[in-house]
Amino acid sequence: MAGEAAEAGLNFFLDRGLGSRIVPNALRDAGWVVETMDERYGKDDSQRIEDTQWIEEATLRGDILLCKDLAITRNPVEAQVIFMSGARVFAMSNAGMIGRDMADIFLTNELKIVQAIQRVSEPFVFAVGPNGLRRARLRYPDQALEP
């Protein structure tokens, strides 16, 4: 039975930090439509592609971005690309987790993720953790999104 993400017709793009097996396979098993860095760019090229490039390209394709950590909110160049491209990002609140735990947290928060996508129209980054979602501050000088 497909979950809320599949029923909403959402496509997710996973950054390299989420890996290419454990997290994407768990999400696919739950009915999510996902693509990894290795699948889109090839195993060798995915290691060399700049974050700004994949963020912009995936966003322009309409993908929802899933990331291992919130570092992209603190890097001004990456934050600017998120804002300017209109990216919708969900990132682990704790980057120290293993693959199965990350997959479980995304799946546990599936309904909240879908609801956030449906209700927030501007670019965003949400931290995803065991206690749900919280809006992360995007460190782009012209845009201060409050938590």
- Per-residue pLDDT of 93-107, as tens digits, reads 999 999 999 999 999
Judged by phi (left if over 0) then psi (alpha if -120 to 50, else beta), residue 138 lies in beta
Beta bridge partners of 146: none
Assess contact for 147 and 135: CB atoms under 8 A. Answer: yes
Q: Domains of the chain by range and CATH?
A: 4-135 (3.40.50)
Q: For 59-109, what is each residue's pLDDT tens digit? A: 999 999 999 999 999 999 999 999 999 999 999 999 999 999 999 999 999
